Amino acid sequence: MTSVSCNFVRIYKKLIALLLFIVLVVVVLKFCVVDKDPDSDMTASLPGSNSGIPDKLWQPKYAILETTMGEVVIELYWKHAPTTCRNFAELARRGYYNGTKFHRIIRDFMIQGGDPTGTGKGGTSIYGRTFADEIHEDLKHTGAGILSMANSGPDTNGSQFFITLAPTQWLDGKHAIFGRVYSGMNVVKRIGLVETDKNDRPVDDVKITRAYIKMN
Does the annotation mark 109 as catalytic?
yes
| Catalytic position from the list 93, 103, 141, 175 | 175
| Catalytic position from the list 98, 107, 136, 151 | 151
Classify 127 as helix, strand or coil.
coil
Classify 7 as helix, strand or coil.
helix
**d(Cα 200, Cα 182) in Å, to the nearest integer?**
26
Per domain, the residue ranges of the chain are: 1-44, 62-214
CATH 2.40.100.10 corresponds to the domain 62-214? yes
Q: What is the DSSP code string of 146-161?
A: EEEE--SSTT-B-S-E
Residues 6+ apart with CB under 8 A from 8: none
Does the annotation mark 112 as catalytic?
yes
**d(Cα 74, Cα 84) in Å, to the nearest integer?**
14
Does the annotation mark 175 as catalytic?
yes
| Catalytic position from the list 59, 107, 109, 136 | 109
pLDDT, one tens digit for every residue, the chain (216 residues) = 555 455 655 666 776 777 677 767 555 555 443 333 333 232 233 333 445 788 888 999 999 999 999 999 999 999 999 999 999 999 999 999 999 999 999 999 999 999 999 999 999 999 999 999 999 999 999 999 999 999 999 999 999 999 999 999 999 999 999 999 999 999 999 999 999 999 999 999 999 999 999 987
Bridging pattern class, strands 110-113 and 100-101: unpaired
| Catalytic position from the list 88, 131, 161, 162 | 162
Output the 3-class SS for 69-102.
CEEEEEEECCCCCHHHHHHHHHHHHHCCCCCEEC
Does the annotation mark 129 as catalytic?
no
| Catalytic position from the list 86, 88, 102, 112 | 112
